[in-house]
Structure 1
Amino acid sequence: MGLPKVADKEGIRWITFNRPEIRNALTVEDLRLVQESVSESNKDIRAIVITGTGDLAFTAGMHIETFSGITVDQARERITAIRDCVGAVRLCPKPTIAAVNGVCIGAGFEMALACDIRIAHPSVRFGLPEVKLGIPSVVDASLLQHHVGLSKAKEIILTGDLFGIDDCTTSPLFNKIVAPEAVIAEAHRTAGKLSEHTAEVIAAQKILFETWLNTSLQEGIDISVDIFAELFSNQTTHDAIARYAPSAANRKN
């Protein structure tokens, strides 16, 4: 057990955290491998699934030794590694899925938030316990309020407690809730569905999501016009339209 396992199967890259004896706690080396695996996947990889070994944890976040007895410069270096890894997941041009098979904490929860789709089972527990260590939740924890609203995000972050699926029923945090034994199969099915679209349109749409998060409404709309038009420089766009036309006609009959 050690570094995350990376396996490519049927056009899907599976990244599996691999320290079940410590609930898949992460090291800086793990982050670097995840970042590389997300950023450098070849064109044959159409979707990426991130999960954990065993049935107890997606990941318990960073190993406690990551932040024990370190200097300010070391703290900056290590939180930067988290930022860069989770940012690579969020900015990946391919669809990303978190198959959350157990407890999901800290940097691991931020990584799940950064994924496009989250799949979990009813017993999953999640949280950002950093305040209990005397450090703030930072980097992609900023995504949480977009998922659950500012009030609930403040409760999750300021208490540092673990929460369950039922605690976020008004603003669902997970896209699909399935039986524990079905999490991986559902992740595979969803990855396959997302892989049916052209790589170019998925990359463009993900750029737009990021644009909408970081610009004004009108600026985001204006940028979307250019991104839309540029897609027509790809033959794959024309081919997709040609394929869709007869299928749309059949649906009307």
Structure 2
Amino acid sequence: MRVTIEKTEKDGKISLQESGGFAIVTINRPELKNALTNRMWNDLKEVGKRITQNPKNKVVILRGKNKLFTSGSDLKQFNHLSIEEANDAFRIMEEAISTFERLPLPTIGVINGPAMGAGFQLALACDIRIGTPNTRMGMPVGRLGITLNQSFARRIADLIGKSRTMDLVYTGRLLKPYECYDLGLINYLLDDDTDVNHYAIELGKKVMEQSPASLLAVKKALSFSNPTISIPWETGLDNCVDAFDFPEGVSAFVEKRKPNFKRR
């Protein structure tokens, strides 16, 4: 097992734990609802890039410390920034978010708390999201004079549509857990008695049982509908089956056993 910690100001940190095929990324600044500073966003981007350098990593889990995800960016820092510096800060956020969005691996977000603003965007960059009774999601940017760029707006609209996206920005309201689930913003809604981190690990193990070629192909194929996403791996999309995984998958089905897919 390898654990990497990126230190940031006021003890906020981004940690990466790599073990058993998992790359587990944790946002750790619970005293401030895991709000990310510019430095933390940059650390998050670098951690995301590092994940692909370890060929043993098969599934990524992104989570926040304690019963939190992230409330988004640390807004206090913006009080000391010029307009140019604020725009640069949003560019850094987008780079970090898109780094996880473009990972050529399945990503699972553990949304065990508020995911607001840029934190909401980071949650939507994950392929699958697990929610709990603590989940809250929203885009309360209207009171701050923040204007959403195309990437930010499209991530939301692709899931819930144009009108609902406008409603979130127009009203600044936060969605309750059942609303998030009904709208497809979270894939699984757990109860208080379920350990969300254990659930995420078990879900990740189930994902690992699937053909890596199939997983990557669907991620690549769906990215075509969104020009802001570009998965940097070739998948052989001209073919409908993988030369290695397809014969093994069919054999395993006929023989009533688990497939032993080729790990890349």
- The alignment's TM-score, normalised by the length of structure 2, stands at 0.81
- Compute the displacement of 1:246 (Å): 2.5
Superposition map of 1:139-178 within 5 A: 139-168=151-180, 170-178=182-190
Following the alignment from structure 1 to structure 2, what is the Cα–Cα distance between the partners of residues 64 and 107? Answer: 11
2:89 to 59, 62, 78: 78
Between the aligned partners of 2:25 and 2:182, the Cα distance in structure 1 is 31
Corresponding residue of 1:192: 205
1:225–1:30 distance in 2 versus 1, CA, 3 Å: closer
Residue 75 of structure 1 aligns to a residue in which SS? helix
How far does residue 131 in structure 1 lie from its aligned partner after superposition?
1.2
Corresponding letter in the other structure for 2:88: E
Find the counterpart in structure 2 of residue 241 from structure 1.
246
Distance 1:165 1:172 in 2: 11
Instruction: Flag the 1:109–1:169 CA change in 2: closer, same or farther, 3 A.
Output: closer
* 3-state SS of 1:129 partner: coil
Structure with more of its chain in helix, by fraction: 1
- How far apart are residue 198 of structure 1 and its match? 4.2
Structure-2 separation of matches of 1:164 and 1:90:
24
1:46 paired with 2:58, answer: yes
The correspondence for 1:214, drawn from 221, 224, 227, is 227
Kindly provide the CA deviation profile for residues 175-234 of structure 1, in whole angstroms up to 9, marking residues without a partner as x. 00112442111211122222223444433322211112339xxxxxxxx996243x87xx
Report if aligned partners of 1:104, 1:124 keep a CA contact under 8 Å in 2: yes
The alpha carbon displacement at 1:170 in A equals 4.6
Partner of 1:220: none
SS at match of 1:206: helix
1:14 corresponding residue in structure 2:
24
- 1:67 aligned residue: 78
- For structure 1, the 5+ residue unaligned runs are 216-223
The CA distance in 1 between the partners of 2:147 and 2:254, in whole Å, is 54
Would you say the 8 A contact 1:113–1:140 is kept in 2?
Answer: no
* Helix, strand or coil at the partner of 2:204: helix
Taking the aligned partners of 1:187 and 1:238, their CA distance within structure 2 comes to: 30
Deviates more, 1:198-207 or 1:187-196: 198-207
| Counterpart Cα distance in 2 of 1:170 and 1:12 | 29
Q: Do the aligned residues in 2 keep the contact of 1:137 with 1:157 (CA within 8 Å)?
A: no
After alignment, is 42-51 or 165-174 more displaced?
165-174
Q: Residue type matched to 1:124 in 2? A: T
Q: What code does the residue aligned with 1:146 have?
A: D
* Matches of 1:250 and 1:159, distance apart in 2: 56
C-alpha contact 1:3 1:29 (8 A) present in aligned 2: no
> More displaced, 173-182 or 15-24?
173-182
Runs (4+) of structure 1 exceeding 4 A deviation are none
Aligned-partner residue type, residue 45 of structure 1:
N
C-alpha separation in 2, matches of 1:68 and 1:90: 29
- CA distance 1:155–1:50, change in 2 (3 Å): same
Identical-pair percentage? 25
- TM-score (norm: length of structure 1): 0.85
